Chain A
Amino acid sequence: MRYNEKELQALSRQPAEMAAELGMRGPKKGSVLKRRLVKLVVNFLFYFRTDEAEPVGALLLERCRVIREEPGAFSISFIEDPERKYHFECSSEEQCQEWMEALRRASYEFMRRSLVFYRNEIRKVTGKVCAGLQRAGVGLQVAEAVLRPWLMATRPPHRTPWSSSAYPRRPGSS
């Protein structure tokens, strides 16, 4: 399967939610524990040799299981092969706990569930609202309306992406 490696490498350089030097052991039998700089960026876990700028590898964290192994250590495995584990050793129980919590929340699927949860909760609250609280009506449409300025702001200001007329080529694009 081809994938956009360069973009993924660029992603690994983005600000991380969490980053630390941990002991890491791959899933293959006989793997040795190695020190790796482990970096959580969106739903990817990157791992680097401690003195290198480019990651050795990345793990997509969708449908993963994060389990406590021995004290101060946890493993990540994936739903299709739960015995194939990536082991991580932390320097403290606290660090281990922190990482496990962060990794469990670091998937798009988790956020999707959060979204559904909040929408339902909002509906429950506003559904019981008396006449005086009409303005409390909320929903994804409102959220999107709020966020549209942000969406537009991430694009170069002189472009209006939705219109096809007179669209300039990006310099250097083929």
Chain B
Amino acid sequence: MKLNERSVAHYALSDSPADHTGFLRTWGGPGTPSTPSGTGRRCWFVLKGNLLFSFESREGRAPLSLVVLEGCTVELAEAPVPEEFAFAICFDAPGVRPHLLAAEGPAAQEAWVKALSRASFGYMRLVVRELESQLQDARQSLALQRRSSWKSVAGRCKPQAPNHRSVGLENGHSLSKDSSPVGLVEEGGSRSSGRGLAEWELQGPASLLLGRGQSPVSPETSCFSTLHDWYGQEIMELRQCWQQRAQRSQPKCEEQDKP
């Protein structure tokens, strides 16, 4: 089976964050017997996401091996020689032997077992989803809390429409005329300014896309990937515009003014 090995190796060596690194002894590799024996080979291991790379040394310019950590469990194991601090990466796949590794001390062993157990894509996805829902909960709680305190100051302030939230988004970009940086607006302290829920609204991309009749990103859209896509669209459009401008002799690019 082919693999884009050059890109994989490049990723291994890149400055993208490693989740864990360290020296481990490994059994298995060209020329080693099928049954692990001896003290193993000491290699420099780098864990990035669900990929475990090994190198000859810390300065190695090319990875020796890659173990893709999906569908595996990590378990403590008895090393072949009475070696301590050994553990194994075990796969469910048929005909696959566990990958045996040994750390250099109990702390390192525990740290590696923990790190490798959490290395799967599925685990990361769960964590992200959990945080996403916790953010939604936190925002809802905050919004509820705000509404109850607004009621107490309603007498003093100019009354806003009770369903301000649903209307506010369409009006949002006209309310927020100051040029804040693109992104979620920081909650300001003032409640009486009438901005109210406008504080939640996105500037920039939302206003750009509102003009096209698309539903803007709302406070409920706390999903990172949706936000990522919205910003991405704007950037792509800008890029096209700049490219067209570069091709024309006179720059006459039609672009919505950003607030």
Q: Which residues of A contact B (CB under 8 A)?
A: 1-11, 14, 42-44, 54-60, 62-64, 78-81, 101, 104-105, 108-115, 117-119, 121-122, 124-126, 128-130, 132-133, 136, 138, 140, 142-144, 146-147, 150-151, 154-155, 159, 161-164, 167, 169-170, 173-174
Contacts and interface: CB of A to CB of B under 8 A. Distances in A.
B1 A54 contact: yes
Contacts of A119: 131
A135 to B, nearest CB: 9
Nearest to A44: B68
A125 B29 CA distance: 50
Secondary structure type dominating chain B contacts: mixed
Interface in B27-42: 29-30, 34-36
B90 A42 contact: no
Interface of B: 1-11, 14, 16-17, 29-30, 34-36, 48-51, 62-68, 70-78, 88, 90-99, 110, 113, 117-118, 120-128, 130-132, 134-135, 137-139, 141-142, 145, 184, 186-187, 222, 224-225, 227-229, 232
15 contacts: A6-B93, A6-B96, A8-B3, A10-B96, A43-B121, A59-B3, A60-B8, A62-B7, A111-B125, A112-B17, A112-B124, A130-B145, A140-B127, A147-B126, A167-B78
Given A7-B68, A150-B126, A138 B131 contact: yes
A57 B141 CA distance: 48
B7 A80 contact: yes
Contacts of A64: 7
B96 A118 contact: no
Given A4-B66, A80-B7, A109-B16, A173 B127 contact: no
A3 B141 contact: no
